[in-house]
Amino acid sequence: MVEEKRRFSLSNLFRQTTPKPQDRTIFTPGIQEKDTSYLLTSPVIYHIAQQSTIVRTCITQLKQEIFRRGYFWEEKFVAKCEDCGKEHSSPTKECADCKSVNLKKPDSEQLKYAHKFMEGYINKSEQMFIDVLKELEDDLNIMDDAYFVLVKEYFLDNNAEIKMHRIKEVYRGDPVTMHIYSNELGERGIEGYTCLKHRGHLSSSPVDMCEECRSELYPVHYVNRVNGVEQYFIKGEVLHFSKYSPGRLYGLSPIITLWSNVTTLLAMENYVNSSYTKARMPRGLLAVQTRNMESMKSFWRGVKEKMESDPHFIPVMGIEAESGKGSVEWIKFMDSLKEMDYIQVKDDLRDRISAFYGVSKIFMSDNSASGGLNNEGMQVLVTNRAVEMAQTIWNNYVFPFMTKEFGITDWQLKLPPSEEEDEVATLRKRELEVNIAGSIKNLGFEIEMDDEGRFSYEKPPPQPEGQSNQGGEKGGEFEADPYAGTNIDASQMGQMQEEMLSGGGKTGGEGEAKSMPQDDVSEDESKPQENPPATRNKPSMSRGPDKRFSGLPKDAGNENVDKRTERRVG
């Protein structure tokens, strides 16, 4: 009996998955609290960061460089195939994958609502969009946790299902009161469910209905606990992101890492402040041993009066003792700032804090470290890298979330680099692109340029044999510029050619060139000579004894005479 072979099918297989690693910082599902093992709460961290001059300087300078040039909208693609979804970054007439010609360009209609929404105030607190971004950047540099909140207006059908939404306002969520709502694995949208109409209602079952309106419930991702009230947010309304220590839940505040340095600087500043106020301790005590206290008091009274009129007065006092011995003793109560190395210690602590944030001394108005190995260009480069890293967070995480919620698929929001591009270098690059396009045109390709100045190349179909292109190619042959992209100016070309011609024109006799007609020159004579004489681009200087010294010894004559500059006098 022949055993029947079963055909392979995925439905006949059993599926098993890898266990998900649990997080040791998650103890109970639901609202996840921040780690308090450092015994530092969020309000204390904000208070310390706002008190420190160095921390605020670093945060402010970094924030100004990140958003100094604003933001702009950029095309996500040049052409997109509507059949396979392939996005092309350069102009083309057919899809590179499926060879389809059903291509579309970015739709500018998608930006109408976003432009209108972002050109004015984005919330009823009268905040601009860039102001909210700066608030979130401060949260990242202090708490390493930022919450981007979108206030939406939902459009529901008869079954209370969301059909569409519209963004009405944008706010910054406070990291002190905002929390993540997740299960024991850190997964959001599983443990709690709420109603869109009654956000105070919370259920642990996904099949439950709202007790008040009997509407469908939606998963909870975040919760805001403030003033004894809990506000629940569903997916797409809040974005949580970190900068320095991204994790499954929360980030780690940089102030915790720099706690010792920041608090030491605060103590040093408080010490200097108390040293220059009325409640300060005296620098020392002058003790004089004498038996005549009245004469001592009258003497110092006169010294004070004299010092008021003459600050440079030096008092001289003699003390007479019965034993023949006297003493004046100075008792010092406190060291000077120089003796405590106050400046060196403060600079070291400042360098450690600024190095963590990536802010150089030149951005903190400190020019003492400029020049030599500490040149300004290297300091600017170090800070630009920190700015670029911060802009990557916004360009890759925050803005894609925002454009997705706005329904924008053909455009992307970007932060430009903090340093402006060199306009001359941009023009030279464009000159090279035009030169390359002309060379490709000479190879037989057809070239087209779009509205953005990008070139697209297409090879024309081959012509039948025996049929020649009598009129030539469209536009004629392009002459490439050999100096495209270089720093050689066109005004220098005439001078260079003149020098070359003046140097090469001395090779032959002038009489022979004049007597030889051009029609009689054959091809052999037009070729270069086999042994051409050695020439120079600049005419040689004529040397020899001056005629005015004829009859004198040779050494008496000037052998350094340039006949080109001589002229006859009289």
Helix H, strand E, coil C: the string for 556-567 is HCCCCCCCCCCC
Strand partners, 50: none
DSSP string, 429-484: HHHHHHHHHHHHHHTT-EEEE-TTS-EEEEPPPPPPTT---TT-STT------TTT
Tokens of 493: 């070309």
Tokens of 568: 């006859």
pLDDT digits (tens, 9 = 90+) for 236-273: 999 999 999 998 889 999 999 999 999 999 988 888 88
pLDDT digits (tens, 9 = 90+) for 40-81: 888 999 999 999 999 999 999 999 999 999 999 999 998 899
Bigger pLDDT: 34 vs 469: 34
Bigger pLDDT: 551 vs 508: 551
**pLDDT grade, residue 428 (50/70/90)?**
confident
Share of residues in the chain with pLDDT > 70 (%): 69
Least confident range from 149-153, 190-194, 308-312: namely 308-312
Q: Return the pLDDT at 507.
A: 44
Least confident range from 160-164, 403-407, 410-414, 477-481: namely 477-481
Q: What mean pLDDT comes out for the span 7-12?
A: 67
Q: Return the pLDDT at 35.
A: 74
Query: Is residue 135 a contact partner of residue 172, using CB atoms and an 8 Å limit?
Result: yes
Rg of the chain taking only CA atoms, in angstroms: 42
**pLDDT grade, residue 426 (50/70/90)?**
confident
Bigger pLDDT: 20 vs 504: 20
- The closest alpha carbon to 222, from 180, 162, 253, belongs to 180
What does pTM read for this prediction?
0.68
**pLDDT grade, residue 510 (50/70/90)?**
very low
Q: CA dist 330 to 183, 284, 285, 313, Å?
A: 70, 7, 6, 20
235 pLDDT more than 60: yes
403 pLDDT more than 50: yes
DSSP string, 24-64: TT--SSEEEPPP-TTS--HHHHHHHHHH-HHHHHHHHHHHH
Measured in residues, the chain has a length of 570
116 pLDDT more than 50: yes
149 pLDDT more than 80: yes
Tokens of 500: 């070359």
Bigger pLDDT: 507 vs 252: 252
Cα 562 to Cα 496: distance, rounded to the nearest angstrom: 23
Q: Return the pLDDT at 396.
A: 94
Whole-number average pLDDT of the chain:
78
Element of type H or E holding 330? strand 328-332
Q: What mean pLDDT comes out for the span 421-438?
A: 78
Q: What mean pLDDT comes out for the span 521-530?
A: 49
